[in-house]
Amino acid sequence: QVQLVESGGGLVQPGGSLRLSCAASGISFNIYEMGWYRQAPGKQRELVARVTSAGTVNYADSVKGRFVISRDNARTTGYLQMNSLKVEDTAVYYCKASRLVWSYWGQGTQVTVSS
């Protein structure tokens, strides 16, 4: 059974940092692309960042220079380091593992940026 479990969300003040983790099981993690998505209330889910199995990374323009995506294949875990957080980063953050026609989602973790 495939499972993706996110953790690390919470409440943080503007300008603060959080590190999200996505622990994967049931898949050959190293051959999957891993991505982080977010969905704010009333908005569509959007791509935040992704890292391919080869290590190529892409970021949404809104998070470039502030967020860093990484993966540890030995631990089958992906990470999203979020710095200089803004109120508009508030959303539920989801991780996704994908390869060819297969894709799997985590349950999401809430990130709230507020003073």
How much is the pLDDT for 113?
98
pLDDT digits (tens, 9 = 90+) for 90-109: 999 999 999 999 999 999 99
Nearest to 15, CA basis, from 62, 61, 66, 70: 66
Amino acid at 77: T
Strand partners, 39: 92
pLDDT digits (tens, 9 = 90+) for 22-70: 999 999 999 999 999 999 999 999 999 999 999 999 999 999 999 999 9
How much is the pLDDT for 46?
98
pLDDT category, 19, cuts 50, 70, 90? very high
Q: Give dist(CA 55, CA 110) in Å, integer.
A: 26
Q: Give dist(CA 19, CA 28) in Å, integer.
A: 23
Is-contact 46 39, C-beta < 8 A?
Answer: yes
* Consecutive H or E run containing 51: strand 46-51
Average pLDDT over residues 109-113: 98
Average pLDDT over residues 15-19: 98
At 34, give phi and psi (nearest 5°). Answer: -120, 135
Is-contact 28 100, C-beta < 8 A?
Answer: no
Q: Give dist(CA 106, CA 56) in Å, integer.
A: 21
Is-contact 96 2, C-beta < 8 A?
Answer: no
